Chain A
Amino acid sequence: MNKYMWLLGMGLQKALAYRVNYAVTILAAVFPIILQWALWRSIYGYTQADTLYGMSYAEMLSYVVLAALMAQALRTGFEYDMAEDIKSGGLNRFIVQPLSYFGYRLSVFVGTNLGYFVATLGVMAIALWVAIRYWSLSIDIVDIALFLLSAVGAFFLQFMLFYLLSLTAFWLHEVWALFESTRVIGLVLSGGVVPLSVFGESLQYWLSLLPFQYLIYFPIQTLTGAISFEQVISGLLIQLVWIVVMMLLIAAIWRRGSRSYLALGG
């Protein structure tokens, strides 16, 4: 286990080495929030409605702010390194060394993203404070605890999702577009842009069958207390099930992929 902790530390160091980047990325999260805020302010102001898509202005605002931050917290980037490893023979190292590639990637991912994740959660805490103070949002302590649980789940689910996606590099020549399209479409489907209730009942039902909403929509709904305790618990369970399902898929695909990798001779 020790070597994985070491890798984790290395990832953290790598993240720290690019100090300016670090600050800028967090700053970048603010812009979409301003846009959303301006839009919803106009919409609620113009329509004079108390609730739109089942949310009051304060709730909508809190949602888009928190969701945008959550989307930032779940940033990845290792998929490109991984595709590169697969394509240019970087995997050979792991075949000869007593190190599991999955473990390696997970440690480096946690290392590079942990600081970022926690920092972004910190920014979310500030946003939450603003929401409670000025937009009269009421939050339960229990909900915060449950949210943290679901956020950790989302963190790992995101890792599994992109790890799974990276495995396509065994067969695909270029993976860039696949990563990006998944990222964008995933962002919309996970509720990272607007709450899923905007899409209407029937579409929302179909979306609930996909893993995406457990990345952003579900954790934020948990946090704002929009769903009941029972729904949260069952949601957490489904999230866990998705993580396990993805891990199993990864194991199966990895086995097939590395076979074709070895057959090619790297």
Chain B
Amino acid sequence: MNVIEVEGLCKTFKFYRKPQGLSASLKNLWQRQVEYKEAVKDISFNIEKGQVVAFLGANGAGKTTTMKMLSGILHPTGGKIEVLGHTPSEREEQFKKRFSILMGQKHQLWPDLPAIDSFTLCQRIYEIPTPLFKQRLARLSEVLCVSHLLDIQVRRLSLGERMKMELIAALLHGPELLFLDEPTIGLDFLSQRAVMRFLQQLVREDNITILLTSHNMADISALCERVLVIQNGQLVFDDDITHLQNSLGGFRRIHIESESPLHSDYLGRYGKVINNDIHRAELEVDGGIANRVLQQLLNDIMVKDVRVSTPPLEDSLERLYTRRGQVV
């Protein structure tokens, strides 16, 4: 069953340009230069129930815009969206009660009140029956280890604790679909992990569907099975996360340590030299020839130690962003 169905989605923004200087400001009094920006161009994809999908792309690529259209905040300029069987831009109340959106930089809790007070406001807004509300709150706050912090003013909490509270607020009405826009931004390593572990548990136990944007690759590889990459408003990749590396040529990295000096000229014959400090080098080669190169190296050089690895996800993405960037 598809939770999200998107077809040919487009979004164009209008904006004004103001050139530098006083005379330009004066001129702006009479007329303004209108320009258009195509933020999202012809995107199509489906997401099934229970899937956890990462939405990747450079800043300004169109991730947040797409997410806002999926949640009904923005109207699409063109194309069709169906989320949970509703058209989001109609903003039906029944639809709103079935999903939740959490943006890492926007807070819905009142900073001057303890979180519990903001939660009761959520209860009223989403019309959650009191027993259910109490039960969910108890469970969520226990899993996130914040039960003892519920009656402390939110602004006195640490950023990580605050984020956990925001998560609770987003989940109290039991949404089937969760949009997360950079949920771990600004959090320290421990809080990031705690949030991610919690989301994993949520997916496992409640079969919730999640669409997540993040710049943190650790988040993504821990949580998501599928990746959508958006570049300049276009969808350039939509597949399983393991395929992300393979589809880009499946590069391998060879780390060599040697007694004799290593020459970049020599290594460069087989692939790209990532770094070389004479006795230790890192070489990136095409996955298909990795075995052959390895043999050749072992023949040619006095190798002390050798290790093969896959390049980090960030590198694959960088390649994807820049490669498609040139084509467009």
Query: Which positions in A face B, CB cutoff 8 Å?
Result: 9, 12-13, 16-17, 19
Nearest CB in chain A: distance from B222 CB, A: 35
A9-B22 in contact (CB<8A): yes
Please give me the residue from chain B that is nearest to A12 by CB atom. B22
Nearest CB in chain A: distance from B318 CB, A: 34
Nearest CB in chain A: distance from B244 CB, A: 40
B contact face: mostly helix, strand, loop, or mixed: helix
A13-B22 in contact (CB<8A): yes
B29-A19 in contact (CB<8A): yes
A9 cross-chain contacts in B, Cβ below 8 A: 22
B28 cross-chain contacts in A, Cβ below 8 A: 16-17, 19
- Asked whether B25 is an interface residue with its Cβ less than 8 Å from the other chain, the reply is yes
Number of A-B residue pairs at CB separation under 8 A = 14
Greatest chain A CB density within 10 A among B18, B25, B28, B29 is at B25
Nearest CB in chain A: distance from B26 CB, A: 6
Please give me the residue from chain A that is nearest to B23 by CB atom. A13
Give CA–CA (A133, B119) in the complex, Å.
Answer: 66
14 contacts across the A-B interface (CB closer than 8 A):
A9-B22, A12-B22, A13-B22, A13-B25, A16-B22, A16-B25, A16-B26, A16-B28, A16-B29, A17-B18, A17-B25, A17-B28, A19-B28, A19-B29
Nearest CB in chain A: distance from B320 CB, A: 38
A19 cross-chain contacts in B, Cβ below 8 A: 28-29
Nearest CB in chain B: distance from A26 CB, A: 15
Give CA–CA (A12, B22) in the complex, Å.
Answer: 8
Nearest CB in chain A: distance from B25 CB, A: 4
Please give me the residue from chain A that is nearest to B29 by CB atom. A19
B29 cross-chain contacts in A, Cβ below 8 A: 16, 19
Nearest CB in chain A: distance from B298 CB, A: 56
Give CA–CA (A241, B15) in the complex, Å.
Answer: 50
Give CA–CA (A9, B25) in the complex, Å.
Answer: 11
Please give me the residue from chain A that is nearest to B18 by CB atom. A17
Give CA–CA (A19, B31) in the complex, Å.
Answer: 11
Give CA–CA (A16, B258) in the complex, Å.
Answer: 68
A17 cross-chain contacts in B, Cβ below 8 A: 18, 25, 28
Nearest CB in chain A: distance from B173 CB, A: 34
Mask for B25-49, Cβ within 8 A of A = 1, else 0? 1101100000000000000000000
Please give me the residue from chain B that is nearest to A14 by CB atom. B25
Nearest CB in chain B: distance from A11 CB, A: 11
Please give me the residue from chain B that is nearest to A19 by CB atom. B29
Greatest chain B CB density within 10 A among A9, A13, A16, A17 is at A13
Give CA–CA (A16, B25) in the complex, Å.
Answer: 7
Please give me the residue from chain B that is nearest to A15 by CB atom. B25
Nearest CB in chain B: distance from A23 CB, A: 10
A13 cross-chain contacts in B, Cβ below 8 A: 22, 25
Nearest CB in chain B: distance from A176 CB, A: 15
B25 cross-chain contacts in A, Cβ below 8 A: 13, 16-17
Give CA–CA (A13, B26) in the complex, Å.
Answer: 8
Give CA–CA (A16, B24) in the complex, Å.
Answer: 10
Give CA–CA (A17, B18) in the complex, Å.
Answer: 9
Give CA–CA (A19, B29) in the complex, Å.
Answer: 6
Please give me the residue from chain B that is nearest to A22 by CB atom. B29
Please give me the residue from chain A that is nearest to B20 by CB atom. A13
Give CA–CA (A12, B23) in the complex, Å.
Answer: 11
Inter-chain pairs besides A16-B22, A17-B25, 12 sampled, C-beta below 8 Å: A9-B22, A12-B22, A13-B22, A13-B25, A16-B25, A16-B26, A16-B28, A16-B29, A17-B18, A17-B28, A19-B28, A19-B29
